[in-house]
Structure 1
Amino acid sequence: MKTATAATTKRPHFHPLDQLSGDEVVHVAQIVREAKAGMNFVFNTITLKEPPKPVMMSFLGWDASKPRVTHVEREALVIILEKVTMKVYESVVSLDTNSVKSWKYVPDVQPILTMDEMFEVEELVLKDEGVRAECAELGITDMSSVFSDPWAIARHVNYPGRSKRMMQALMYMRTCEDDNQYAHPLDFVPVIDLGLMKVVSIERIKPRNSKFTRPTIPLQQHNFLPEFVGEENYRKDIKPIIVQQPQGVSFTVKGTEIDWQKWNMRISMNYREGLVIHNVSYRDGAQIRPLFYRIALSEMVVPYADPNTPHHRKHAFDVGEYGLGLCTNALTLGCDCLGSIYYFDAVFNDHNGKPFHVPNAVCLHEEDHGVLFKHTDYRNGRAHTVRSRRLVISQIVTVANYDYGLYYYFYQDGTFEYEVKATGELNTHVMAEDETPGDYGVTVAPQISAQYHQHFFTMRIDPMIDGPNNSVVQYDTYRSPFPTGHERNMYGNAFYAKPTVLKDTFEAQSHANFDTARFWKIVNEDHIHPYTKSPVGWKLMSHHVTPFFPGDDSVVAERAPFAKKALWVTPYDEDQMFAGGFYCNQSDGRDSVEKWANRERQSVHQKDIVVWFTFGITHLPRVEDFPVMPVEMIGFMMKPANFFIANPALDVPPTNEAANKSVHANASATSCCSPPNGNKL
């Protein structure tokens, strides 16, 4: 196992896309303090300011129209919060010149919520006299048993706008250390002004259709940690599965560049998107073919269905409000990833401008993935099987109750897949003894409701399929319009696929459509396939799309319009990185992909484009999701479609039991990977 530790590795030079090191974070903070010595502020964000794409396209060698850029200025983006007033300032700091290049006040915005603020709010809430009085009325005298999940406020009618930096706290208790707090939800929500660092109101959640004015606290334990389950209760019939690579891994890593078989890419980590994949290419013979400039999870939203206050404010933007980087886990060898693991660390900043390190934040490894392709000649029994392997680059984040495993998969046949494994705990709500969840949830345990909700994930895909200028084509499949018996459909079996080129931002807004087996292709019309005589391309598809069920004029729809459609395509704009806007916290939706796409009709036909793809699930919780939720897997896939001359994995060698150490658990049998004479390969 080898670990890449950005914070501790001394390197005289950085790649332009490498995250800031710990030393750089300290240095940037020092430059800003010296430049603004009279201000009383905290550092909300210190992060790499990615270089402009035109500069990087030259630096990476994709743009040969002018002399190649060999040096890229290293810059940091700094977001400052002035204490008390909560005014927001943006600064760009040059690490080449050790100077503040720009400084501006940004009115009517609130930046991302930080871990420092989460801890401060939780401590503040426990000390508040109003909160203590609510707990006392519920029979709680020991405040050390009380816990809260600080949430973004969304948009609160009593605190409009973004001049005040607000949060709300969802309240719980524990009956003992490490008890599952979501088994004991409380019935009130404090609202906090972060500028004043004060609880400004407390909202009670009233029982519905109940004779009680206030519910009691459910005290029954519902736990899943080993000390509660008990070793004697674990299954005794599980034998180990050991993943080994005795000859080492098949990938190579140089800094943050990863080379695996025919794939090449670079990764980075930032406070907001977390794991980002850059500069993806595939070696096709002697040619290196560019595929994607940048891929990252741009935004998420989790709208809850209960319309009653304060539940209507529960629509979490886990990327834009909390930051997947800031919420990333330190992964554990042998638990989160199996096999021969290469780890990358991550570095972020605290309010004082000091770095904090997340060891093992990104896991890189290989996995067997079943059969890649196979055919058996039924005439002579000759079977040829090639097993699939995939490269996995992953991180796991915890955002309050939910945990998300975020996986980038690269396959030997050129397929790229992104998968979210949703797990963790349900967000729970307490009910009175005679209360029911009604139309908006399910009772997962006595007096505990889990509300209906949805999860939407919007990827920002910046393609460069065989070059920087691309188009998107939508494919729909239809039955033949000619009835059975017609000379053009004599036996009624005809169906066909209809391609539609999405030429501008108005046309390039699309819903999923299972009725027509809809998918999309990102194509390069300057490169025509020699066989099909059509543009080379990459197919985009997902079986995990769901309608957006909140009303189009709802608060959450106004704030998260990206979730209303599966696909948006916009011209590349370096200021349009996040589907819900850069300042998503307490936003009103004016800065979003929907607004960018509808501002004016802009061409996206054979241009430098960005594809925004949304997938998700509608989660109607089950009792089996409590007290901890088994993994729910959702995602999308991209596959080469008339891009190569043939199956690009034909050169993957077949495997056999001698190589993979497979053994018979029952009676002996012949190998499916043997040549006709039965000799081992």
Structure 2
Amino acid sequence: MKTVTAATNQQVHPFDQLTGDEIMLVADIVRKEKSDMNIIFNTITLQEPPKYLMMSYLGWDRTRPRIEHVEREALVVAIEKPSMRCYEAVVSLDSQTVKSWSYMPDVQPILTMDDMFEVEELVIKDPRVQAECRELGIHDMSQVFADPWAIARHVTHKGRDKRLMQALMYMRTCEDDNQYAHPLDFVPIIDVGLMKVIDIEHIRPRDSKFTRPTIPLQQHNFLPEFVGEENFRKDLKPIIIQQPQGVSFTVKGNEIDWQKWNMRISMNYREGLVIHNVSYQDGPEKRPLFYRISLSEMVVPYADPYAPHYRKHAFDVGEYGLGLCTNSLTLGCDCLGSIYYFDAVFNDHNGKPFHVPNAVCMHEEDHGILFKHTDYRNGRAHTVRSRRLVISQIVTVANYDYGLYYYFYQDGTFEYEVKATGELNTHVLAEDETPGDYGVMVAPQINAQHHQHFFTMRIDPMIDGLNNSVAQVDTHRSPFPTGHPRNEFGNGFFAKETILKDTLEGATNPNYESARFWKIINESRVHPYTRAPVGWKLVSHHQTPLFAQDDSIVGERAGFAKKALWVTPYDEKQMFAGGFYCNQSDGRDGVPVWAKERKPIDNRDIVLWFTFGITHLPRVEDFPVMPVDMCGFIMKPFNFFMANPGLDIAPTNKKMNQSVHANADKAKESSCCPGNKL
């Protein structure tokens, strides 16, 4: 296996994330400008250039002379101490000046890793927390651990004037023990501005004779030192993935070329991995497809309606930041084969950079058959195997781990996949207590609550140009009954396309009865065969309704999850489905608000907000660590090319892939694909 790390001395592109030196420069500029303020640097990140400038810079807008330089700017979100007021600044790195400085009332910025570590340390040292632990029989506070969570919206501590967090409490019986096997029954509430525990809430047993549960002490571990090497399976043989002639992609800075695809990637503190400026080389024509694709928001609502569980709905993008939670990936574990890594850099509260090496993994992998046909008359088989480019990151948000994968295929297909794993969020039951309707007992006294995962992608298309539309495609039975002259044998069905004209029509859901999918189309470019606009199909087989009530706290805050698709006119300030300031939000910002007013969305610059997800009813098999659960969506060219774009891929043969028979008795057979003549 090979590894390469992206060079740090490449010329900076307008989409490239801020370097460590740039982060320190921005912090220094702000400090000098606001020398009378005690500032926490919540966020220092790239302020992406306006789209209209980038369309010229990238060469897509040919109506005027091409722009060759775009001002490089940073967005700063700062918190002033001790008032904890929030400010936004735009800093020009070209002129090294603060271009704007604005007070942002009634908001709470994202929670950072610095916040997490400070709150956990505070909680463990708090006298009231220590007293609760002693009552449970814990006298060594080094055994106690806290998962700091966003407060969501607390019915007692209302509003956003105070920066609040809650801590879910656990213990470990030894170093590296699984803390989620030993949940505690109380939740401290923390005022982050005061750095003080202001309240402690208890999780009371419901159908029990006990007033307080005991701590389950049985160990449930999955790390190898607990499982024991002697217990590992002994019948697994190595699988080795090799590319002896090297990889098929090329990388220049953050620009990637692979199999007619061209794109750029970036990383930011919030969305993590972002894909920019995607195009496909179609013969002599380089055709634009997508300006920007990212995971805009996600929410994990839990089902238990009782306090304090009603507040358990984590917005892992908007409250914590996927970039800030990204893993440093390990060669041979997280990615296999010939691996190319990209690093990431973010800021701490002091405005200093911290680097995450190997934050993004890129590699190629075999993906089975791309296409095949056997002529049954003469036995000739033609097989072409599929290969895909994988660009991925893995994030850890408290108990959950998410693998986030962008796949590009040789036939023009694009796929996004989430692999959810990690540990179940657990809470303790009394010895005689049951989980009730809202969870399952995965081990004695350990309840795993029902919950859902919703992922909302922000898809900014430019299918053969900036002005696009969305067509909804529904398949219907013929309206004529069997025996009718127009449906004599009853087998007729047809597809009906409806172009979504405005934001109200653009808020829509799947329909199993009509096998519904959507197409992003360019009405200005008509396919010569179909006489219809060229397009790109959007479909997912992983969609589920939000089961919380519409007027619930999570229903109000995560309104984007109520529809599978929203389509809105492009607005550079509308980047995050749950609003920019998602932490402690009340739902007054976000996609449902932007889509509420009727606005035209056909044949113009638009954005799609596409939601997919999982309803997770936990199993005993998910404990103590969960096998991956996968969900995602696919986009495919739909009457976009003149034929299958993979026709020019060489046929498969064993000489190329060095396949061998597992059964030695068959080894004398000459070819794995006898019909292929290459």
Short-chain TM bin:
over 0.9
Is residue 3 from structure 1 mapped to residue 4 from structure 2 by the alignment? Answer: yes
User: Using the alignment, how far apart are the partners of 2:287 and 2:673 within structure 1?
Assistant: 32
1:71 corresponds to = 69
The one-character-per-residue Cα deviations of 1:179-217 (angstroms, maximum 9, x if unpaired) are: 000000000000000000000000000001100000000
237-246 or 650-659: bigger deviation: 650-659
User: SS of 2:291's equivalent?
Assistant: strand
Contact 2:413 2:636 (C-alpha < 8 Å) held by counterparts:
yes
SS, match of residue 228 in structure 1: helix
- Match of 1:658, SS state, is helix
> Once the two structures are superposed, what CA deviation does each residue of 1:658-681 show, in whole Å capped at 9, x if it has no partner?
1101000123245342347xxx63
Question: Residue in 2 aligned with 1:671?
Answer: 671
Structure 1 distance, partners of 2:5, 2:287, is 27
Is the CA contact 1:384–1:672 (under 8 Å) kept in the aligned structure 2? no
- 1:381-425 deviations in whole A, cap 9, x for unaligned? 000000000000000000000000000000000000000000000
Please, which runs of 5 or more residues in structure 2 have no aligned partner?
Answer: none
> Which aligned pairs between 1:253-272 and structure 2 lie closer than 5 A?
253-272=251-270
> Is 2:324 the partner of 1:323?
no
Of the structure 1 ranges 407-416 and 667-676, higher mean CA displacement relative to structure 2 is found in 667-676
Deviations 1:124-150 (A, max 9, x none): 000101100100000000000000100
- In 2, are the aligned partners of 1:183 and 1:218 still within 8 Å (CA)? yes
After superposition, give the CA deviation of every residue in 1:469-496 in whole Å (9 maximum; x if it has no partner).
Answer: 0000001111111100000110011111
Mapped to 2, the partners of 1:670 and 1:162 lie a distance apart of: 72
Corresponding position: 1:297 with 2:292: no
Counterpart residue number, 2:196: 198
Q: 2:606: which partner in 1?
A: 609
Counterpart-to-counterpart distance in 2, 1:383 and 1:180: 53
* Alignment counterpart, residue 625 of structure 1, candidates 587, 610, 622: 622
Q: How many Å separate the matches in 1 of 2:187 and 2:83?
A: 24
Residue in 2 aligned with 1:391? 389
Q: Indicate which of 367, 371, 374 corresponds to 1:373.
A: 371
The separation in 2 between residues aligned to 1:332 and 1:514, in whole angstroms, is: 41
Equivalent residues of 2:39, 2:78 under 8 A apart: yes
SS at match of 1:150: strand
User: Match for residue 524 of structure 1?
Assistant: 522
Alignment-derived partner of residue 631 in structure 2: 634
Q: Which residue of 2 aligns with 1:557?
A: 555
Q: What is the rounded CA distance, in whole Å, between the counterparts of 1:564 and 1:670 in structure 2?
A: 56
Show the counterpart of 2:241. Answer: 243
CA deviations 1:499-555 (Å, max 9, x no partner) are 111010011110111111110000000000000000000000000000110001111
Secondary structure at 1:358's aligned position in 2? strand
Q: Which string of whole-angstrom CA distances, capped at 9 and with x for unpartnered residues, describes residues 337-365 of structure 1?
A: 00000000000000000000000000010
What SS class does the counterpart of residue 634 from structure 2 fall into?
A: strand
CA–CA distance in structure 2, aligned partners of residues 84 and 176 of structure 1: 38
CA distance in 2, matches of 1:63, 1:206: 62
Q: Secondary structure in 1 aligned to 2:286? A: strand
Work out the CA distance in 1 between the residues paired with 2:186 and 2:409. 49
Return the letter of the residue paired with 2:612.
F
Aligned counterparts of 1:65 and 1:557: Cα–Cα separation in 2? 45
Contact 2:654–2:672 (Cα < 8 Å) also in 1? no
Counterpart amino acid of 1:610? V
AA in 2 matched with 1:483: P
Question: Aligned ranges for residues 370-449 of structure 1 at < 5 Å?
Answer: 370-449=368-447
Among candidates 646, 650, 660, match of residue 649 of structure 1: 646
Query: How many equivalent residue pairs?
Result: 674
- Counterpart of 1:309 (choices 307, 310, 315) is 307
**Pair 535,112 (structure 1): closer, same or farther in 2 beyond 3 Å:** same
Q: Distance in 1 between matches of 2:478 and 2:210?
A: 62
Kept in 2: contact 1:654–1:673 (CA 8 A) = no
Amino acid at match of 1:674: P
Contact in 2 for aligned 1:541/1:637 (Cα 8 Å): yes
Q: After the TM superposition, which of the residue ranges 308-317 and 493-502 deviates more from structure 2?
A: 493-502
Equivalent-residue separation in structure 1 for 2:675 and 2:468 (angstroms): 45
Counterpart residue type for residue 522 of structure 1: I
Among 142, 145, 153, which residue is 2:143 paired with? 145
**In 1: Cα distance, 2:543 partner to 2:57 partner:** 37
1:10 shift after superposition: 3.2
- How far 1:5 sits from its partner (Å)? 4.7
Amino acid at match of 2:539: M
Asked if the contact 1:385/1:672 (under 8 Å) is kept, the reply is no
Q: Does structure 2 retain, via aligned residues, the 8 Å contact 1:153–1:166?
A: yes
Which residue of 460, 463, 484 corresponds with 1:462?
460
TM-score by length of 1: 0.98
Q: Measure how far apart 1:443 and its partner are.
A: 0.3
Deviation, 1:3, is 3.3
How far is 1:596 from its partner? Answer: 0.2
Displacement of 1:4: 3.4
- Does the 8 A contact of 2:379 with 2:675 survive in 1? no
Give the deviation of 1:159 after TM superposition.
1.4
Contact 1:526 1:535 in 2 (8 A): yes
Counterparts of 1:88-107 in structure 2, within 5 Å, are 88-107=86-105
Deviations 1:614-665, CA, capped at 9 Å, x for gaps: 0001000000000000000100000000000000000010121111010001
Partner of 1:590: 588
Distance in 1, matches of 2:462 and 2:64, equals 18
Distance 1:312 1:303 in 2: 9
Contact 2:6–2:340, Cα closer than 8 Å, also in 1: no
Checking the alignment, whether the CA contact within 8 Å between 1:476 and 1:519 is kept in structure 2 is yes
SS of the residue 1:509 aligns to: coil
Post-superposition offset of 1:41: 1.5
Q: Report if aligned partners of 1:423, 1:630 keep a CA contact under 8 Å in 2.
A: yes
Deviation, structure 1 residue 67: 1.0
For residues 79 and 66 of structure 1, the distance between their equivalents in structure 2, rounded to whole angstroms, comes to: 35
Following the alignment from structure 1 to structure 2, what is the Cα–Cα distance between the partners of residues 565 and 431?
Answer: 35
**Distance of 2:513 and 2:199 partners within structure 1:** 49
- What per-residue deviation string (whole Å, max 9, x for no partner) do you get for residues 234-272 of structure 1? 000000000000000000000000000100000000000
Deviation at 1:161, TM superposition (A): 1.0
1:658 maps to 2:655:
yes
Residue 158 of structure 1 and its aligned partner are, at CA, apart by 1.6
Contact 1:383-1:672 within 8 A present in 2 as well: no
CA distance in 1, matches of 2:453, 2:525: 37
Partner Cα separation in structure 2 for residue 516 and residue 625 of structure 1: 34
Deviations 1:561-593 (A, max 9, x none): 000000000000000000000000000011110
Residues 3, 338 of structure 2: 8 Å contact kept: no
- Per-residue deviation, 1:2: 4.7
Query: Does the Cα contact within 8 Å between 1:4 and 1:255 map onto a contact in 2?
Result: no
Counterpart secondary structure, 2:25? helix
**Do structure 1's residue 484 and structure 2's residue 475 form an aligned pair?**
no
Q: Which moved more, 1:153-162 or 1:404-413?
A: 153-162
Q: Residue 515 of structure 1 aligns to a residue in which SS?
A: helix
- Contact kept, 8 Å, 1:292 with 1:464, in 2: the verdict is yes
